[in-house]
Amino acid sequence: MNAASRLTTPFHSHTSAAEVIDGVDLTGRRAVVTGGASGIGAETVRALALAGAEVTVATRRPEAAESLAAEIAAVRGAGSVRAEALDLGDLTSVDAFAQAWEGPLDILVANAGIMALPTREVGPGGWELQLATNYLGHFALTTALHTALRAAGSARVVLVGSGAHRNVPFDFDDPQFEGRPYDPWVAYGQSKTAMVLFAVGADRWAADGIAVNALNPGYILTNLQRHLDDDTMRAFGVMDDEGNLTPLPYYKTPAQGAATSVLLAASPLVKGVTGRYFEDNQEARVVEIDDEGPGGVARHALDRHAAERLWAYAADAVRR
């Protein structure tokens, strides 16, 4: 795509989720937000529910969403918030969640994720845990909920990615790090490349009225950094010598980080748009792997052949 064809909106990098959804009425709409009990996931839940949506928080610890549900329940005119158990690294848990769902589903936000596990870990399904949680579990969940999404008539799926995908094409020869040396950042970046390719491949659902887009929320300090040690945080410039977090000027608040998710989930400005990648509430520019400029979506993450190959790989993996 060229610059002239990229979709733009009147919002900017530090627009909040509430500002993006201002004036949008989601009464009667039903949404699922994975990892919606904290961080940008909680802000996504808050924005959708305050606009009237009925939101299900899908999380490994449903009790963690109780305070958010109580907060929303106290707001007149807001939609309801409830929590259900979901472990994306465990296919049995994913199947149970999908089978328990009844009726149409208007919005699915694949927000949950883990980052830079220091050592290679394997989940219950035998998958490397970053690929399992960030991508394969979400692929299994979304495909299992396809009928519910189609039944909505005009559904949206939002895939939360990361700028870390830019330098890491998907390794089809050894995606699980069974032979090559494990690298926490390569594993993370690969899982996020997979999320963008998922959006590209999911344009096959356009005829079902299902739009699927990916995004980079930007830099935000949340629980996502929980696996990083203090030395790494200091190297990133976001922790002082006393251990206090010190966000850099370009970092966003969680409410600002959730804005692009909410834009893709609910804004009329992106109605009918599918298979694309957004950041800072705009469609991102396409970049090459050696591009040193900020932001952008890597060309390898938009590759149609890779998207089809990955879809086949994931479909086979989640059947086992």
Q: How far apart are CA 162 and CA 189, in angstroms?
A: 8
Is the pLDDT at 133 greater than 70, yes or no?
yes
User: To 10 degrees, what angle do helices 304-319 and 184-201 make?
Assistant: 100
If one compares 284 and 3, the residue with the highest pLDDT of the two is 284
If one compares 90 and 290, the residue with the highest pLDDT of the two is 90
Is the pLDDT at 203 greater than 80, yes or no?
yes
Instruction: Say which residue the tokens 């086949």 belong to.
Output: 312
DSSP state of 128: B
Q: How far apart are CA 9 and CA 62, in angstroms?
A: 35
Domain ranges for the chain: 18-228+254-318
- Closest to 161 measured CA to CA, from 199, 116, 210: 199
Q: How far apart are CA 23 and CA 35, in angstroms?
A: 26
pLDDT band at residue 55, thresholds of 50, 70 and 90?
A: very high
Q: How far apart are CA 192 and CA 98, in angstroms?
A: 23
Q: What percent of the chain stands above pLDDT 90?
A: 82
User: Does domain 18-228+254-318 bear CATH number 3.30.420.10?
Assistant: no
pLDDT tens profile 259-304: 999 999 999 999 999 999 999 999 999 999 888 788 999 999 999 9
Q: Amino acid letter at 259?
A: A
Q: How far apart are CA 230 and CA 17, in angstroms?
A: 30
- Cβ–Cβ under 8 Å, residues 252 and 75: no
pLDDT band at residue 64, thresholds of 50, 70 and 90?
A: very high
Is the pLDDT at 236 greater than 60, yes or no?
no
- Cβ–Cβ under 8 Å, residues 98 and 141: yes
**135 has catalytic annotation:** no
Active-site residue (options: 135, 188, 277, 313): 188
pTM (2 d.p.): 0.92
- Cβ–Cβ under 8 Å, residues 277 and 296: no
Q: How far apart are CA 145 and CA 139, in angstroms?
A: 10
pLDDT tens profile 171-201: 999 999 999 999 999 999 999 999 999 999 9
Q: What is the pLDDT of residue 96?
A: 97
Is the pLDDT at 230 greater than 70, yes or no?
no
